[in-house]
Amino acid sequence: MGRLEEFTVRPDPADARLVERVTGTDHTAAAIVTSVPVERPLTLFLNRQEVVTMMTIGDYPECLAVGYLANQNMLRADDAITAIDYDDDVETVVVRTERRTDYESKLRKKTLTSGCAQGTVFGDMMERFETVRLDTAAVVQTSWIYALSRKINSQPSIYLEAGAIHGCVLCEADRPLLYMEDVGRHNAVDKIAGYMRLNGVEPEGKIFYTTGRLTSEMVIKCVSMGIPILISRSGFTAWGVALARQAGLTLIGRAKGRRFITASGPERIIYDADPGEVAAERRAVQRKASLAEDAV
């Protein structure tokens, strides 16, 4: 497909299906009202087989379904999707394919991963991981890292409105393209994977930005999606770093204000920004900043 516009997908904190107002009391015993993200179940079927029930904020169910199946290797690159039936009332989404599928044995093997678990992420996901060759021509300019952080953190979002949510953003150079949020970080990743698959977005030259930790699961997914550069505000696990080095992924963590650390793939980084000129993040757009409550 053609060039995507900046924030082709962006959060919609004004959507009343995604954010609820709840009452409470604050530290002075005053009554307040505050916003919190919605969390609801969505049960995924692949053809006739129930695969999993996900706790999700509920937007982009088709992307979530397709991205989950793709990232779990249950949907092959050459699989033709014949229908995606989402039913809001019974909270189900059914993906139908030309190929007859049966993952009974796969569904019996479970691995809980560190950063918001997936049922079956290891095993054959590692097989795919080992075959991926990431784009060696891709680069990331340090000015892009600062520009992306600034644009993403100042974009109105459910995070800024209600907290308690993860965000993932597919980017190209200094342009955020697809910004998905979800109460489960794995869901935010899968929604981007699903959008890419359904819209033919190529991974080469792209940058994946996430608010979550750089664990083994996050690295495996990014590599499996074919994206050569992964940036997070959060830190690393040792296995996340080891897997990134094995795959030749550029792994940048603890990216806050002017600081960041590259733990893998530094050869893709072009130092074109003067960190001294990068202002400390404005408090107003800091992630993890206190949320506003309204007195009642």
Binding pattern to a second copy, positions 169-208, x when CB under 8 A?
--------------xx-xx---------------------
Contact window for a second copy (CB under 8 A) among 20-28, 95-103, 169-177, 195-203: 20-28
Q: How far is the CB of 78 from a second copy (least distance, A)?
A: 26
Query: Whose CA is closest to 212, among 190, 176, 179, 184?
Result: 184
- 107 binds a second copy per the rule CB under 8 A: yes
Contact with a second copy (CB under 8 A) among 74, 147, 180, 269: 269
The Cα–Cα gap between 191 and 292 comes to: 28
Q: How far is the CB of 146 from a second copy (least distance, A)?
A: 9
DSSP state of 214: B
**Rounded distance, CA 179 to CA 157, Å?**
9
**Cα(36)–Cα(59) distance, rounded to whole angstroms?**
15
Instruction: Give whichever of 28 and 131 is closer to a second copy, judged by the CB atom.
Output: 28
Interaction between residue 48 and a second copy (CB under 8 A): no
The binder of a second copy chosen from 236, 247, 249, 281 (CB under 8 A): 236
Among 151, 175, 263, 268, indicate the residue that binds a second copy (CB under 8 A). Answer: 263
Question: What residues from 54 to 93 belong to the interface with a second copy (CB under 8 A)?
Answer: 54-56
Nearest to 152 by CA among 173, 179, 172: 179
Q: Are 35 and 19 in contact (CB under 8 A)?
A: yes
DSSP 48: T
Give me the least distance between CB of 205 and a second copy, in Å please. 22
263/72 Cα distance (integer angstroms): 26
Choice from 96, 106, 150, 254 touching a second copy (CB under 8 A): 254
Alpha-carbon distance values, 256 to 134, 149, 162, 277, 281 (Å): 26, 8, 21, 14, 8
Q: Count of alpha carbons within 13 Å of 209, Cβ hemisphere only? A: 29
Q: Does position 217 bind a second copy by CB under 8 A? A: yes
Task: From 36-44, 87-95, 133-141, 193-201, give the range in contact with a second copy by CB under 8 A.
Answer: 36-44
* The binder of a second copy chosen from 6, 12, 32, 285 (CB under 8 A): 32
d(CA 282, CA 289): 10
Tell me which DSSP letter residue 120 carries: S
From 128-136, 195-203, 222-230, 268-276, give the range in contact with a second copy by CB under 8 A.
Answer: 268-276
CA dist., res. 232 & res. 235, Å (int): 7
Q: How near is the Cβ of 180 to a second copy at its closest, in Å?
A: 15
Q: For residues 73 and 202, give the distance between their C-alpha atoms in angstroms, rounded to a whole number.
A: 18
Residue 209 interacting with a second copy (CB under 8 A): no
Closest to a second copy by CB, 203 vs 212, is 212
Q: How far apart are CA 289 and CA 214, in angstroms?
A: 21
**Residue 235 within binding range of a second copy, rule CB under 8 A:** yes
Closest distance between a second copy and the C-beta of residue 119, in Å? Answer: 5
- Applying the rule CB under 8 A, the residues between 108 and 137 that interact with a second copy are 108, 110-119, 122
